[in-house]
Amino acid sequence: MNTYRKRLLAPFSAHAFLLGPRGTGKTLWSKASYPDAVRVDLLDPDTFRLFAARPEQLLALARATQPGEVIVVDEVQKLPQLLEVAHLSISEGMLGTYLFTGSSARKLRRGDVNLLGGRAQIRMMYPYLAIELGHDFSLDRSLQYGMVPVVVEATDPQAARRAYNALYVHEEVYAEGLVRRTDAFARFLEAISFSHGQVVNVANVSRECAVPRKTVESYLQILEDMYLAFKVQVFRQRAQRELAQHPKFYFFDVGVFRANRPTGPLDSTADVEGAALEGLVLQHLVALAGLRQDGTSVSYWRTRSGVEVDAIVYGPSTFWAIEVKRSREVRHEHLRGLKAFVADYPEATPILLYGGTDRMVVDGIAIEPVEGWLRSLGSEFI
């Protein structure tokens, strides 16, 4: 992927970690944001061997930096011991700054890995937002192929999506040595795709893919650690009803969901399309919350009786209750969850996103065409 589009993420003024799945544009962003940086690319075999044998090489680079200069270390999880050297150079008073990129938190979360003593901010690189694509954003195309930059910019997005799923989702996990049986993990990915946008029933997934329950739980953690999936918790602020207890699961990108979700004569197109649209909206909201860096959270709301709202965005300046429907028409049953939520939280702004083209207000609920709404999300950063 050589095409670079301007992203909403602004350059950093201090030491930072930039984390996120492979193929989301971390390296391209760092090259565009810091064109004169000293680069240590740990994906390059020669560079990896050099710094693995002599980590103190990083200390020499740091001591030579001047104010405003940046050292970029790509895929730092491959050599986490470099963080010890980086911490030492920071303690010595290095004049430049570090940017560490990474696509797996698993090694970085270990208790013996130095994360620079809290001296570096941690940010995420997400798939494209619709606003970053501008006129090139197509809802139908995004629902089919996703928003991962390496897929979006490909001349053949279907082949690129297939290759991404095989290379970055499957092989990256295997390369990290996190999975012993590749066949079991492949069956797990297919089984878990049916839980995209739902609460995961681990016992059911275990039975479907013929993998022990404990192994399924470890696979789920691997997906999160490698930023290939995220969970959305239940909104519990000032709860007035008995609520669901468990989080919902989403692949980090709708294209990865589509690549792993089998379809055929027995599969409901409406179910697949509905889950894809909800996932696309949720990945946008999670990215927005990450960009804001003000404590904004994304959750969902569901009562024990089954009344649900797909997404609750809650932060210092935002309180949205969002329901997502693929339908081109608005029916009264679509508004049921939003009405129940607003009855408990009149401060919230209820929004129904749907597949139609008309904007309207029904019973105090803003009805928005989902494509146009996604196009405007994140405009505060432009």
Q: What is the DSSP track for 141-174?
A: HHHHH-S-HHHHTSSSHHHHHHHHIIIIIIIHHH
196 and 256 together in one domain: yes
Average pLDDT over all residues of the chain = 93
Residue 6 counted as domain residue: no
Domain end: 124, 152, 170, which one?
124
CB distance 194 to 188 below 8 Å? no
Whole-number percent of the chain with pLDDT over 70: 96
Domain end: 101, 124, 147, which one?
124
Q: Residue 95 belongs to a domain with what CATH number?
A: 3.40.50.300
Amino acid in position 301: W
Confidence tier at 111 by pLDDT (50, 70, 90)? very low
The string of pLDDT tens digits covering residues 192-201 is: 999 999 999 9
88 and 164 together in one domain: no
150 and 47 together in one domain: no
Q: Which residue range(s) make up the domain with 223? A: 130-381
Instruction: List the 70-74 sheet strands across, edge first.
Output: 38-41, 70-74, 97-102, 16-19, 121-124
The string of pLDDT tens digits covering residues 254-297 is: 999 999 998 877 777 888 999 999 999 999 999 999 999 999 99
Three-state secondary structure call for residue 236: coil
Tokens 């083209």 belong to residue: 357
Residue 229 counted as domain residue: yes
- The per-residue pLDDT for 106 is 75
Cα separation, 180 vs 173, in Å, equals 10
pTM given for the model: 0.94
Residue 234 counted as domain residue: yes
Tokens 């059911």 belong to residue: 204
Which residues are CB-neighbours of 268 under 8 A, at least 6 positions away? none
Residue 7 counted as domain residue: no
The string of pLDDT tens digits covering residues 168-218 is: 877 777 766 667 777 888 899 999 999 999 999 999 999 999 999 999 999
| Helix-strand-coil split of the chain, %, nearest 5 | 45, 20, 40
Angle made by CA atoms 379, 381, 382, in degrees to the nearest 5: 70
Q: What is the mean pLDDT of residues 62-81?
A: 94
Cα separation, 202 vs 213, in Å, equals 6
Residue 148 counted as domain residue: yes
140 and 71 together in one domain: no
| Least confidently predicted of 55-59, 69-73, 84-88, 118-122 | 118-122
141 and 65 together in one domain: no
326 and 207 together in one domain: yes
CB distance 321 to 342 below 8 Å? yes
Residue 83 counted as domain residue: yes
Cα separation, 367 vs 365, in Å, equals 6
Residue 294 counted as domain residue: yes
Domain end: 124, 142, 159, which one?
124
Q: Is the pLDDT of residue 112 over 60?
A: no
Confidence tier at 113 by pLDDT (50, 70, 90)? low
247 and 340 together in one domain: yes
304 and 210 together in one domain: yes
- The number of domains in the chain is 2
Both tokens of 209, joined, read 């893919």
143 and 183 together in one domain: yes
